[in-house]
Amino acid sequence: MKYLLPLTALIFSLNSFGKDIAKGKSLYAACIQCHGENGEGNVEQQGPRLSGQYDWYIVSQLEAFQNGTRKNEKMMPYIKNLSKKDFDDLAAYVSSL
Ligand code: HEC
């Protein structure tokens, strides 16, 4: 029982600060059809290239799409239920491509 509190604190801090590239990779499976397996983009789907993009830019754009500041009907179904943590993980993975 005495380990419960430190453990909870550890898990919480990993959750809020740790960027999980492996999680980002699994989330990115839903994005491949429009942005390409390696983030190279997809001409038919008009999905722009994402590889090599700055992680902070990817997060800022995902947030803008989600809150409607930037309109993207095509992508909305894929991102509307994702959390800020998911965006961070996705961005960490995508910017590594
Ligand atoms: C159905 C196709 C589709 C899917 C699936 C999709 N996207 Fe997109 N995405 C687009 C299109 C189209 C644009 C360009 C929108 C525009 O013209 O503003 C875009 C734009 C973006 C941008 C902005 C790029 C820039 O240079 O400003 C980011 C970041 C992005 N997508 C990330 C993702 C991520 C992460 C996923 C998976 C969770 C995803 N997309 C899934 C079609 C898609």
Q: Is the pLDDT of residue 15 over 80?
A: no
Closest atom of ligand 1 to CA, residue 82? 38
Atom 9 of ligand 1, nearest CA residue:
47
Nearest CA to ligand 1 atom 23: 61
**Whether residue 93 has pLDDT greater than 80:** yes
Residues 66/34, Cβ–Cβ less than 8 Å: no
Confidence of residue 81 (pLDDT cuts 50, 70, 90): very high
Q: Give the per-residue pLDDT at 19.
A: 86
Residue 23 CA to ligand 1 centre (angstroms): 18
Q: Which residues, other chains included, contact 75 with Cβ-Cβ below 8 Å and sequence gap of 6+? A: 34, 65
Q: What pLDDT shows up at residue 49?
A: 97
Segment 16-70, tens digit of pLDDT:
467 899 999 999 999 999 999 999 999 999 999 999 999 999 999 999 999 999 9
Could you tell me the distance, in angstroms and rounded to a whole number, from the CA of residue 36 to the centre of ligand 1? Answer: 11
